Structure 1
Amino acid sequence: MKKILVTGGCGMIGSNLVKRLVKEGNDVFVIDNLWRGKLEYLNDTNGKSVIDLKTRFFNMDLSIAENADSIILDVDYVIHLADIVAGIDYVFKNQGSIFRLNNLINSNIIDSCRKAGKDIVKGFIYVGTACSFPLTRQNSLDVIPLKEEELYPALPESAYGWSKLMGQYETDLLEKETGIPTSTLMFHNVYGAPCDFGERSQVIPALIRKAINSDSEPFHVWGSGEQGRAFIHVDDIVNALCLSLDKGLGEGVIQIGPSICTSIKEIAEQVIKISEKNIDPLYDTTKPEGDKARSADYSKAKRILGWEPQVNLEEGLRQQYNWIKMQIENHKL
């Protein structure tokens, strides 16, 4: 049995990961300040939390130094998911605070591991983002899958991408200085449930919400719709994290995402199809699009972890649509 700390463990990725780790017999600790995550996301099908909230959950702000020091001393492995992120509007309107807070969060949790040392911490997994790749490799619709070695020279488009890259660099330093084996998984655009589908939501849940509420909310799509992303279901992400815990430590940066780039227009059309409604999408080119397009060369993930995407995009979208629809309907009651 492994004793594992998951930061950001009440979010979409974190809650699914915690459930998987508990199911596999691990003793799981969770840190989350509940900015986006919710305690209810840790509940099983019977409505009961999969961890003991009194002894294994810590409502904690990791931007405050030394908050996690004592918890680190009680665990064997740390999976660091916690960060400040939201939809593209929030990211570009709050770049300074996002950069500052993410650097504090990352540096503080890494420093706690550094102080604990390799006799305590047997492994550290950091979650990076495809947003950290250079803008020059993401500013064209002519998509060539990204490779890990293309990270430098660094030129992320957003402060979010820069902040995550800084955490990735400090993770490398942690391994070099302490001997604690680390793994950095660079995620592409993750979707799935549970998720935030309100004002701070990302593109897929936002479009699904607009489709469900089409009688009262216009189906606006930000940008031309031509911009694309490599969308990856949360179940595939959880698989990658669990595989990295067993096979990825000490293997450096590993990209997690599909080799296919799907345009936002295609996502919008799929969501409308799933809704079975007669919706005419409105493309708002005054809104930011972010990077033009990207996809992943996941050959390293396949070679090191034995990982490949498994969840079909249409089926994943249908699952997320049904989850958000249920949440909206329950809220209206």
Structure 2
Amino acid sequence: MADFYANKKVFVTGGAGLIGSHLVEMLVERGAKVTVPVRKTTKLDFLESVRDKITVVEVDLFDKPSVLRAMKGQEIVLNLAAAKGGGIAHSMAHHASLFRDNITSFMNVIDAAREVGVERFLVVSSACVYPTNTTSPTPEEEGVKDQPDPSNAGYGWSKRMEEYLGKAYAEEFGMKIAIARPYNAYGPRDDFFAPTNHVIPSLIKRILSGENPLVVWGSGKQTRSFLYAKDFARGLLDVCEKYPVADPLNIGSDEETSIGDLAKLLVELTGAKLDIVFDSTKPDGQPRRTCDTRKAKEKIGFSSRILLRDGLASTINWYKTEKAKRGL
């Protein structure tokens, strides 16, 4: 049987980033004809291995005519582009701009896809849609039972709106829409060099810089499901191919890990000798954000393959190599 993506013209927003670059590589391997829209300032380092096999076009996702011109002739749109989130502090300080930027670019991309008449459209939502108090692991139907956790309100509401718009476009215009609701991503190519990085790159960077004691925000008891970047990318492709019915699917790992245990594991894997201190004056964020994977297994046969310990070891090694390349 021919691969679903073989010879398909696939338009991947956010295709140069942590998840997008892995996804683009997978698409190229599967014979897709990939176009990646980028800004003038976008770095293409992570696409180096496939740069001669894809089309890169300069596009402003905040300008619909620009998006429409670039999207003409495309068959599948995978919308991975999102406003730069980051840790709790960044998210709490930028609710309005995160909401505005996500919704503005999303509206332009999905409406251009409607006008072009694409065969499939992937909405990449987020586990940030979930409210503070949920069943853990959290099933998809709890995504709208209350407001998103206050620490992620702007980002969470924007992703809820994207899900709603995906469903509405499917109902009104007959578009085939897939909706993925992924959990915390990490892995090689994560952003270690920005002030807005997430918990795993932040901890690795600080541990390897010799910070002692290592100060971790919150109680350390809050838990998360972390998903390795290649698993994440594979899950997105599976959702788009196998479940384009405008119904959200969690994409995540069965492993539930406390932030305290994560910090201890990273210290162990790096071989660092340091103390860990938890700053309880800082927010925990959601007490538990853990993935109920049953529906994804049932509907598309997806489950994560990379264990957290192995994925973290790979990520640490990548960061050490990248740091040496940059002379840091």
TM-score (norm 2): 0.92
Whether 2:275 is the aligned partner of 1:273: answer: no
Offset, 1:72: 2.0
**Equivalent-residue separation in structure 2 for 1:97 and 1:245 (angstroms):** 28
Partner SS state of residue 204, structure 1: helix
In structure 1, what is the equivalent of residue 4 of structure 2? none
In structure 2, what is the equivalent of residue 208 of structure 1? 204
In structure 1, what is the equivalent of residue 281 of structure 2? 286
Offset, 1:289: 2.1
Whether 2:239 is the aligned partner of 1:233: answer: no
Whether 2:26 is the aligned partner of 1:20: answer: yes
Check the 8 A contact 1:134/1:155 in 2, yes or no: yes
Where has structure 1 moved over 6 Å in runs of 4 or more?
Answer: none
Structure 2: which 5+ residue stretches go unaligned?
Answer: 1-6
In structure 2, what is the equivalent of residue 79 of structure 1? 78
Instruction: Decide whether aligned partners of structure 1 residues 4 and 136 sit closer, same or farther in structure 2, where only a CA change above 3 A counts.
Output: same
Check the 8 A contact 1:6/1:14 in 2, yes or no: yes
Query: 2:136 corresponds to which letter in structure 1?
Result: I
**Which 10-residue stretch deviates more, 239-248 or 320-329?**
239-248
**Equivalent-residue separation in structure 1 for 2:123 and 2:284 (angstroms):** 27
In structure 1, what is the equivalent of residue 140 of structure 2? 148
Whether 2:189 is the aligned partner of 1:183: answer: no
Whether 2:228 is the aligned partner of 1:223: answer: no
**Equivalent-residue separation in structure 1 for 2:249 and 2:176 (angstroms):** 14
In structure 1, what is the equivalent of residue 60 of structure 2? 61
**Equivalent-residue separation in structure 1 for 2:191 and 2:40 (angstroms):** 12
Check the 8 A contact 1:98/1:159 in 2, yes or no: yes
Instruction: Decide whether aligned partners of structure 1 residues 144 and 101 sit closer, same or farther in structure 2, where only a CA change above 3 A counts.
Output: same
Residues 33-71 of structure 1: CA deviation (Å, up to 9, x unaligned): 377x63001012xxx62544xxx2123331233321122
Offset, 1:219: 2.2
Q: How does 1:235-254 map to 2 (within 5 A)?
A: 235-250=230-245, 252-254=247-249
Offset, 1:24: 1.0
**Equivalent-residue separation in structure 1 for 2:80 and 2:219 (angstroms):** 31
**Equivalent-residue separation in structure 2 for 1:292 and 1:234 (angstroms):** 23
In structure 2, what is the equivalent of residue 109 of structure 1? 109
Check the 8 A contact 1:229/1:295 in 2, yes or no: yes
TM-score (norm 1): 0.90
**Equivalent-residue separation in structure 2 for 1:171 and 1:251 (angstroms):** 6
Residue of structure 1 aligned with 2:190, choices 188, 195, 201: 195
Check the 8 A contact 2:13/2:80 in 1, yes or no: yes
In structure 1, what is the equivalent of residue 326 of structure 2? 331
Q: What is the aligned residue count?
A: 317
Query: 2:43 corresponds to which letter in structure 1?
Result: K
Whether 2:94 is the aligned partner of 1:99: answer: no
**Equivalent-residue separation in structure 2 for 1:32 and 1:148 (angstroms):** 32
Offset, 1:114: 2.0
Partner SS state of residue 63, structure 1: coil
In structure 1, what is the equivalent of residue 3 of structure 2? none
**Which 10-residue stretch deviates more, 82-91 or 186-195?**
82-91
Query: 2:109 corresponds to which letter in structure 1?
Result: I
Partner SS state of residue 135, structure 1: coil
Offset, 1:12: 0.3
Offset, 1:218: 5.5
**Equivalent-residue separation in structure 2 for 1:209 and 1:95 (angstroms):** 26
- Compute the RMSD of aligned alpha carbons: 1.8
Aligned residues: percent identity? Answer: 32
**Equivalent-residue separation in structure 2 for 1:298 and 1:17 (angstroms):** 21
Partner SS state of residue 68, structure 1: helix
In structure 2, what is the equivalent of residue 304 of structure 1? 299
Instruction: Decide whether aligned partners of structure 1 residues 99 and 276 sit closer, same or farther in structure 2, where only a CA change above 3 A counts.
Output: same
Partner SS state of residue 66, structure 1: helix
Offset, 1:251: 5.5
**Equivalent-residue separation in structure 1 for 2:160 and 2:246 (angstroms):** 17
Instruction: Decide whether aligned partners of structure 1 residues 291 and 50 sit closer, same or farther in structure 2, where only a CA change above 3 A counts.
Output: farther
Structure 1: which 5+ residue stretches go unaligned?
Answer: 138-142
**Equivalent-residue separation in structure 1 for 2:98 and 2:62 (angstroms):** 11
Residue of structure 1 aligned with 2:310, choices 307, 315, 320: 315
